[in-house]
Structure 1
Amino acid sequence: MSTPIDISEEAGVRYLHFGSEWVQGAMRIRKPNALELAYTREMMAGLLLRDGLSEDAGEWPRRVLLIGLGAASLTRFIHHHLPQSRIQVVEIAPSVVAAARQFFRLPQEDARFSIHIGDGAQYVLEKNTRYDYILVDGFDRNARAGVLDTLPFYQAVRARLTDQGLMSVNLFGRSRGYKASLERILTAFDDRAIAFPSCDSGNVVAFGAAGDSLRRPIAELRERASLLKAATGLDLLPTVTRLEQAGSLPGGTLVL
C-alpha cells in the first residue's frame, strides 16, 4: 500500500503529512538546514554526548544511519553541518523520497549520501556495516512504528554500533506505551539508555549507548550545547535544562 502524501504550509513553514493531521516533518522555507521541530533537535543531542565538537576534532559521527526520511530534516542538517559524516538513509516508501526531493530540498545523492528504498528493520538485520550514530524515526500514517519498536530490532541496532556508537529514537505516538518502549531499549542496551523528558509536542526521544562509557556533568553539557549552537545554530540548552529539572541526571551527571 502506497503512503498518502499531503503538503501544507503555514507562517513560512512547510509540513509533511501522511494522509492525516499528524505532522511527519517540517521545514522553515527560509532556513532549510535548521531543525524546525523540537524532537528532531533532540534527536541530534548525541552531539553533546560524543566528542566531535572541538575545533581540531570534528570526527564524530563518521557514519550515520537514518531510518525514516520524512521531510528530510535530519538528513539536511547532518549533510550541511557535519561534512565528515557519511549518511545512509533507509526509507520504505518511494513516495516519501519523491516528496522530499520535490518539496523539502533533499540533497543530491553523492559519495557521502545515499538512499536505500526498503524496510529499515530488515536493513539493520541484514547489513554488517557499523555506524557511529543510528537515528530511528519511522512511522506509518497512524503514527505506529511497528517492528521498529521491538526488542529484536533494538538488539540488532546495538550490534551495528561502533565503540563510539549511539542510537536515538523518536517514541512519538507511543505516549501510553512509551515506558514499555524504553524497557525494550534498556534491555537491548544493558541499561545504558535514557529517555529525555517529553518535549512540547509530546515526543519522547530516547538514547542507547554502545561501546565506550559516557559521563557528562551538567556544566559540560551546557558548555557543549553553547559550542554546538555557535557552530550550527542548533540550540539544545533548553534540553539540558529539562534534563536537569526532571531529575534525569543523578548527581548532576549524565551517565550512559
Structure 2
Amino acid sequence: MNTPIDISEEAGVRYLHFGSDWVQGAMRIRKPNALELAYTREMMAGLLLRDGLADDAGRWPKKVLIIGLGAASLAKFVYHHCPQARIKVVEIAPTVIAAARQFFKLPEEDARFSIHVGCGAQYVLEKDGSYDYVLLDGFDRNARAGVLDTLPFYQALRSRLSAQGLVAVNLFGRSRGYKASIERILQAFDDRAVAFPSCDSGNVVAFAAAGEPVERPLGELRERARLLKAATGLDLGPTITRLEQSGSVPGGVLHL
C-alpha cells in the first residue's frame, strides 16, 4: 500500500499527515516518548482498568497488539513504560514505517518489539495468539477505517483477547457512523463496551473487554491515575472528570 506521507512542524511539535491536512500522529520533539495527542493518551486508559502499571510494577499487559502505527506514539509509550510487554505492531503501509523510523524515533525491532507489514484484519483473522491489550488506530488518508470497523473484525478481535483482554478503539473520523460503530462493538463484545466522551480533537475512544469483569469506582480510578502520572507523566485525570460529567459511570462505578 503506497500511502503519501507529509511531515510538518509547529511550535516544537512534529506532525504526520497522509497526503492531506488530517493529523495522523504527532511528537513533541523534546519529549519523543510522551503522548502528544489527547486521544492517544486516552487509548492508554486501559492501564487504569486492569491491574498493571498504575499499581504493581507492570504486571499487565504482557502481550500488546497495535494496529496502525502512525507516528509510533502508542508503540513508543508501551515500549518505554511497560517493560514486561511484548509488542506486535501491524501496519499496512511501508511508507508509514519508514517515516516513523526517520522522523518519529521508532524503536528498533528486538525480542520485545516487532512489526508486521500487512492488513490488520488479515493478521487478526489468520495469525494465532492472544493479547492482553489491543490498540486499534487504523485509518486511510480519508480517515476511513474500512474493514477494521466491521462486526466480523470486532468478533475476530474478541477471540484474540486473553482472560484480562481489553481493546481500545479510536473512532475518529466516523462522526456520521459513530453510533453504528459503537453498536457493532457492543454486539461483538456482548455489551461489554463503553465510549469515552469526545476529547478536544473530536476523537472518541471506545473500550471493550473480554474475560474477567472490570469494576472500578471513580475514586479508585483517580488514585490509579495519580500513580500512573507519577510513574510515566501520563495525566488521565481530565479523562476521569469527563467520564463523570458525561454520566458514563452510573452509580460512580465503571463497569466493563
Structure-2 residue corresponding to 1:122: 122
CA RMSD of aligned residues (A): 0.8
Separation of aligned partners in 2, 1:165 and 1:96: 27
1:1-256 equivalence runs, <5 A:
1-53=1-53, 56-256=56-256
What letter is aligned with 1:152? P
With the length of structure 1 as denominator, give the TM-score of the two structures: 0.99
Give unpaired runs (5+ residues) of structure 1: none
**Structure 1 contact 243–249 (Cα < 8 Å) conserved:** yes
Separation in 2, partners of 1:141, 1:110: 30
Q: Which amino acid in the other structure matches residue 134 of structure 2?
A: I
Per the TM alignment, residue 230 of structure 1 is displaced from its structure 2 partner at its CA by 0.4
Q: Distance in 2 between matches of 1:229 and 1:56?
A: 14
Identity %: 81
Which one-letter code corresponds to 1:235 in the other structure? D
Question: Residue 143 of structure 2 aligns to a residue in which SS?
Answer: coil
Amino acid at match of 2:197: P
Report SS of the residue matched to 2:132. Answer: strand
User: Quick one: distance in 2 between partners of 1:72 and 1:39?
Assistant: 14
Q: Which amino acid aligns with 1:253?
A: V
Give the letter for the 1:222 counterpart: R
1:43/1:170 contact within 8 Å kept: yes
Which runs of 5 or more residues in structure 2 are unaligned?
none
The residue identity in structure 2 corresponding to 1:4 is P
TM-score, reference length from structure 2: 0.99
Structure 1, residues 144-178: CA drift from partner, whole Å, max 9, x if none? 00000000000000000000000000000001211
Instruction: In structure 2, give the amino acid aligned to 1:43.
Output: M
**C-alpha offsets along residues 81-102 of structure 1, whole Å, 9 cap, x if unaligned?**
1100100000000000000000
Deviations 1:71-118 (A, max 9, x none): 000001010111001000000000000000000000000000000000
CA contact (8 A) 1:196 1:243 kept: yes
Instruction: Compute the displacement of 1:186 (Å).
Output: 0.1
- Residues in 2 aligned to 1:54 and 1:165: alpha-carbon distance in whole angstroms: 17
SS of match in other structure, 2:154 = helix
Q: Distance in 2 between matches of 1:23 and 1:56?
A: 35
Rounded to whole Å, the distance in 2 between the matches of 1:53 and 1:236 is 13
Looking at structure 2, the residues matched to 19 and 113 of structure 1 have their Cα atoms a distance apart, in angstroms, of: 28
SS in structure 1 of the partner of residue 235 of structure 2: coil
1:219 is paired with a residue of what secondary structure?
helix
The CA distance in 1 between the partners of 2:90 and 2:193, in whole Å, is 23
* Conserved 8 A contact 2:54-2:224: no
Distance of 1:54 and 1:235 partners within structure 2: 12
Contact (CA 8 Å) 2:55, 2:227: kept in 1 or not? no
